[in-house]
Amino acid sequence: MFDIGVNLTSSQFAKDTDEVVTRALAAGVNGMLLTGTNLHESEQVQRLAQRLDRCWATAGVHPHDSSHWRADTAEAIYTLAAQPEVVAIGECGLDFNRNFSTPAEQEAAFSAQLAIAAELSMPVFLHCRDAHARFLALLTPWLDKLPGAVLHCFTGSQAEADDCLAHGLYLGITGWVCDERRGQELCEVVPRIPADRLLVETDAPYLLPRDLSPKPASRRNEPAYLGHIVERIAQLRHVDANEISETTDNNVKRLFGVTF
């Protein structure tokens, strides 16, 4: 099982970073993609991926931090992208839910990162919230110049999933499918995702699966819980969990070009 979304630079992991990775590997996770959400964190995850076993990294600026995008940010992302541990540009995209950065700032930073990924022929690690139409409008002209793209933490509708799949995107599925309150629509979408477009992730420390039993003492999610999410996805797709693990591992290797 490869976890494509781990926010290991979160302050929630500050005191036990190495132990979190050790627990994940012991639980059957065979690789992790550490998410860079701004320049500082992208530099941090590159160093972590260099040091930690079976970890790789992304380099990019999340839409929330788009107001900080500058010309020297782009130069720094280029430098990070040259490191062997960095296998994707992102987390980048649009988030019109909170607008911590203005839509115009988000669009500028997103387009700039797509241009970097295209120039370097690297896949993109994408974020989209309450911005589906504009997100695809900006992304689509770049897709034939990119080796691949994943929309991580997908929680959208069937129509949005169909749009993304028609454009060749992979979809990252989290423990949202384990949430009986908010995850029902996604549970109906998951069986209809083609096997060769499915990826799995925890988005730790966020989105702790609500149906873990016994419930952890902490509300912090960990990559060690990825197996629980894979089991739920397997139930929804009426297949064995090992099949989900094998299929998504192959998708990771194809998209990110990693060997594990």
pLDDT tens digits along 37-47: 999 999 999 99
Average pLDDT over residues 159-177: 98
In the DSSP assignment, the letter for residue 150 is E
* Other CB atoms within 10 A of residue 242 CB: 11
C-alpha span between 254 and 260 (Å, rounded): 12
From the CA atom positions of the chain, what is the Rg in Å?
17
Nearest to 152 by CA among 17, 37, 30: 37
Q: What is the CATH number of the domain that holds 80?
A: 3.20.20.140
Number of domains in the chain: 1
Q: Provide the pLDDT for residue 180.
A: 87
52: its two tokens: 């930690």
Distances (CA, A) of 200 to 73, 223, 228: 29, 11, 11
Partnered with residue 56 across adjacent β-strands are: 33
Domain that holds residue 174: 2-255
The answer to the question of residue 260 being in a domain is no
The answer to the question of residue 61 being in a domain is yes
Q: pLDDT higher for 99 or 173?
A: 173
Query: With DSSP H G I counted as helix, E B as strand and the rest as coil, what are the percentages for the chain, rounded to 5?
Result: 50, 15, 35
pLDDT tens digits along 44-85: 999 999 999 999 999 999 999 999 999 999 999 999 999 999
pLDDT tens digits along 105-148: 999 999 999 999 999 999 999 999 999 999 999 999 999 999 99
